[in-house]
Structure 1
Amino acid sequence: MTGHEMLVDRYAIHGVLGRGGMAEVREGWDTRLNRPVAIKLLHPTLSADPGIRHRFEDEARSAARLCHQNIVTVYDFGEHQGAPFIVLERLPGQTLADIIAGGPMPVSHVRSMLDDVLAGLGVAHAAGVLHRDIKPGNILVSAPGDSMKVADFGIAKTAGAAHTMTGQIVGTMSYMSPERVAGAPASVGDDLYAVGLMGYEALVGRRAFPQDNPAALAHAIMDSTPAPVAAVRSDVDPVLAAVIDRAIARNALQRFASAEHMRAALAGDQRALRGDAVSAGSRPGTKVLEGHPIPSAPYRPQPPRQRVRTYGIAAGVLGVLAVSAFALAMEPASSTPAPQPVSTSTPVVPTPSVAPPPSPVVEQPAPVQPPPGGPAGRGHGKGDNKRG
């Protein structure tokens, strides 16, 4: 589609905001309501694939169920000349990735960003939706007050979406938990782990796991923990440092079990920082596993003999690497180096009550099968994702 073509006699289509492996995002205008919009169009060559169409439709349905100031709003969904499309709110700001590319963020801005993202994810999780691809490129900056909005639910998992193949890996490896890299099912805890990695990256100006080689990256995620925040940035207050260190702990039992729990700890709630259960409003009480914030001790790499146990799940890593080459071709262009996406997961059925994160000891995963269309890209200006 080019020029100023009309979509279903309502939306005027203008320039391209971003392209990715599955879709492109175009700038548009809603002629009925007289407002700017972003229009996400599935690539015509992929429209005939039932699996890809189902994934695209799931994105629309998943995001449309969510109404919150920290989640990008879905306005409409339909089909034009055989190609499905999603109409989204048009945001004028940048992505979090764009901001981090300019250097480490002020501590107060990082705290505000984390609070916004956790607020949006709390609503999504309560609705039974796991994002599964939380990363800086999927966090958009809205103009009013520079608040953050979670975008791109293109690989979100809902109770009604069961077409994802067993063993398939979906998401961006640099922000995956050790359990996900090993092939374990997605969970609320995986979204929160990725939030912690974003906070770390925003504070230090680089990814917690900066390895570019897929093999080295997978082993680093499964075998090591990033240096404590206090060791890499001394001006960070103890509460924020403890929250981020705990969120990205290699031991899943030490992490947060819900967005509400992590958000309360971020606000300085001592009970949440100790690992006590936190009220989630009208939702059923969430069981929080015992754990303590990771101490700000000098960073000590894991000794080789402790890493041997991790290599027992090397089949999961090999499966990830098998998909990496395929994913490299599907990653959209970016103004800054972006982590290489791969595919993951077994079906997950989120429930209204958030379950504790999975044990770090996982079973042998099923063989990895790359998705037909590849993972979603980045924000409006960086790929598939919604971006203003």
Structure 2
Amino acid sequence: MASHLNSDFEHIILPSQYEIQDKIAVGAMGSIFRALDKKNNSTVAIKTLKEGINITEDTILRIRKEAYYLSRLDHPNIVRLIDFFEQDNAIFIITEYISGQSLKSIIADEPLPLRSQIKIIRDLASALDFVHSENIIHRDIKPGNIMLGTDNQVKILDFGLANLINYKKIFLKNEIVGSLAYMSPEQTGILKKMID
């Protein structure tokens, strides 16, 4: 049976296992909600497309790819996929809920101590090494896609732009994907050859 929500979330109907508690983020294409997983008695995050957004085949493919890539990644510094489903022309990605703040909001207030910076970099390097060992690249690593939990656990989020590694395709295709301010020179097209 379905779970209906308060007036802010009326358009979303979920299996009765999930009960949305509040909206925690809104992006260009989607919204993220904090919800209770009643079956497992745990808090989860539910990512879905915004109401009224034009859902193209490309959009659906991107979301399915994100769920597929997350399902392959089991690492302490990568958000864990719990479930993925489509129903009534809606798509849902259910992940673990991370209580904390994005690195973007943390560094906006004040610089982090050197010890914290080193830990974050070490954890990110470990996660990205694992992602790359699975032949996946994230393509949008930036402070807004990195969460620091209340337990100081670093988590990489948002694999919506991820892709299987095919270096020729990635670097020879005239396509810019990701957040320009955080791209390598190769990605932006500024350099015509790869650098190490």
Q: Name the TM-score class by shorter chain.
A: 0.7 to 0.9
Tell me the equivalent position of 2:36: 29
- Alignment partners' CA distance in 2, 1:175 and 1:71: 19
Bigger relative CO (Cα 8 Å, ≥ 6 apart)? 1
Letter of the 2:70 counterpart: A
Structure 2 alignment gaps of length 5 or more: none
Is 1:118 matched up with 2:125? yes
- Alignment partners' CA distance in 1, 2:37 and 2:123: 28
Cα distance, 1:42 vs structure 2: 1.7
Q: Of the candidates 173, 180, 188, which is equivalent to residue 187 of structure 2?
A: 180
Letter of the 2:89 counterpart: G
User: Could you give the per-residue CA deviations for residues 283-317 of structure 1, whole angstroms, max 9, x where no partner exists?
Assistant: xxxxxxxxxxxxxxxxxxxxxxxxxxx7xx7xxxx
Which structure dedicates a bigger proportion of its chain to helix?
1
Task: Output the aligned Cα RMSD.
Answer: 2.2
- Alignment partners' CA distance in 1, 2:111 and 2:132: 29
Tell me the equivalent position of 1:65: 72
Decide whether the 8 Å contact of 2:35 with 2:43 is kept in 1: yes
In structure 2, the residue corresponding to 1:121 is in which secondary structure?
helix
Decide whether the 8 Å contact of 1:16 with 1:25 is kept in 2: yes
Cα distance, 1:96 vs structure 2: 0.8
Decide whether the 8 Å contact of 2:5 with 2:19 is kept in 1: no
Tell me the equivalent position of 1:149: 155
Cα distance, 1:95 vs structure 2: 0.9
- Alignment partners' CA distance in 2, 1:99 and 1:21: 21
Map of 1:276-355 to 2, 5 A cutoff? none
Cα distance, 1:149 vs structure 2: 0.9
Q: Of the candidates 155, 165, 168, which is equivalent to residue 175 of structure 2?
A: 168
Is 1:359 matched up with 2:191? no
Decide whether the 8 Å contact of 1:78 with 1:86 is kept in 2: yes
Decide whether the 8 Å contact of 1:76 with 1:86 is kept in 2: yes
User: CA 1:24/1:79 → structure 2, altered by over 3 Å: closer, same or farther?
Assistant: same
Structure 1 alignment gaps of length 5 or more: 183-221, 223-309, 314-357, 361-388
Is 1:139 matched up with 2:146? yes
- Alignment partners' CA distance in 1, 2:179 and 2:90: 26
Cα distance, 1:45 vs structure 2: 3.5
Cα distance, 1:43 vs structure 2: 2.6
Cα distance, 1:156 vs structure 2: 0.4
- Alignment partners' CA distance in 1, 2:15 and 2:42: 16
Decide whether the 8 Å contact of 1:12 with 1:28 is kept in 2: yes
Cα distance, 1:48 vs structure 2: 3.6
Letter of the 1:139 counterpart: I
Tell me the equivalent position of 1:8: 15
- Alignment partners' CA distance in 2, 1:159 and 1:117: 18
- Alignment partners' CA distance in 2, 1:118 and 1:10: 35
Cα distance, 1:80 vs structure 2: 2.7
User: Could you give the per-residue CA deviations for residues 117-144 of structure 1, whole angstroms, max 9, x where no partner exists?
Assistant: 1111111111111001000111101222
Map of 1:264-283 to 2, 5 A cutoff? none
Q: What TM-score does the superposition give when structure 1 sets the normalisation length?
A: 0.44
Cα distance, 1:177 vs structure 2: 1.0
Cα distance, 1:168 vs structure 2: 2.7
Tell me the equivalent position of 2:101: 94
Cα distance, 1:102 vs structure 2: 1.7
User: Could you give the per-residue CA deviations for residues 83-139 of structure 1, whole angstroms, max 9, x where no partner exists?
Assistant: 011001111111111111122211111101100111111111111110010001111
- Alignment partners' CA distance in 2, 1:74 and 1:8: 17
Letter of the 1:108 counterpart: R
- Alignment partners' CA distance in 2, 1:12 and 1:108: 39
Q: What TM-score does the superposition give when structure 2 sets the normalisation length?
A: 0.85
Cα distance, 1:46 vs structure 2: 4.1
Which structure dedicates a bigger proportion of its chain to strand?
2
User: Could you give the per-residue CA deviations for residues 226-254 of structure 1, whole angstroms, max 9, x where no partner exists?
Assistant: xxxxxxxxxxxxxxxxxxxxxxxxxxxxx
- Alignment partners' CA distance in 2, 1:57 and 1:45: 19
